[in-house]
Structure 1
Amino acid sequence: MRLTKDVVQKLLDMNEGFEKTTYSRDRNFKATYHYLIKGGKLLVRSKGKTSWSDSNFDNTKVANLEQTRNFLRKAIDVLKTEGIK
């Protein structure tokens, strides 16, 4: 499936409320990424910390088109795709 701008929007609209959580851990870094499709957009919440004492972070943002495409490519097997070519 080719993820054109129109196809991306159809997938987001069809999968309203879809959630997925991923984790990342490295030597001095730990993060949780929570993805939520809401209102025709992909919201990404990143929460974690690094080795610095004041380095906790908790950010929420709307993913841009390229970030949304990358997410959809990875999650396409569990998303609703009926009728989309």
Structure 2
Amino acid sequence: MRLTVAVVQQLLDQNDGFEDTTRDRQKNFTIYTRYRISDGELHIQESGNTSWADSRFSNAPRVATIEQTRRFLRPRLGSLKTDGIE
């Protein structure tokens, strides 16, 4: 499936409420990224910590760009509703 702007928008509209979380763990750093489809947009929120006790962070949710949205959708196409989309 080719993820044109129109196809991406259809996927976002059909999958309102879909959520996923990823974790990236490195030597002294862990980041959790929460993805949520809402109102036809992909929202991304990151939080994490380092090995220091007082080094936790949580960023405010932001709307993903079209490229970030494509990178999110492509590996999850099997989990999303794709009825009527070619």
TM-score for the superposition, normalised by structure 2: 0.91
Determine the structure 2 residue equivalent to 1:37: 37
15-24 vs 42-51, which deviates more? 42-51
Shift of 1:21: 1.0
Aligned pairs, number: 85
- Secondary structure (helix, strand or coil) at the match of 1:55 reads coil
Equivalent residue number for residue 22 of structure 1: 22
CA positional deviation for 1:49: 1.4
Corresponding residue number in structure 1 for 2:64: 63
Which structure 2 segments of 5+ residues have no match?
none
Of residues 52-61 and 6-15 in structure 1, the stretch that sits farther from structure 2 once superposed is: 52-61
- The corresponding residue for 2:49 is 49
Deviating above 4 A after TM superposition, structure 1's stretches of 4 or more consecutive aligned residues are: none
RMSD: 1.2
Matched residue type, 1:45: Q
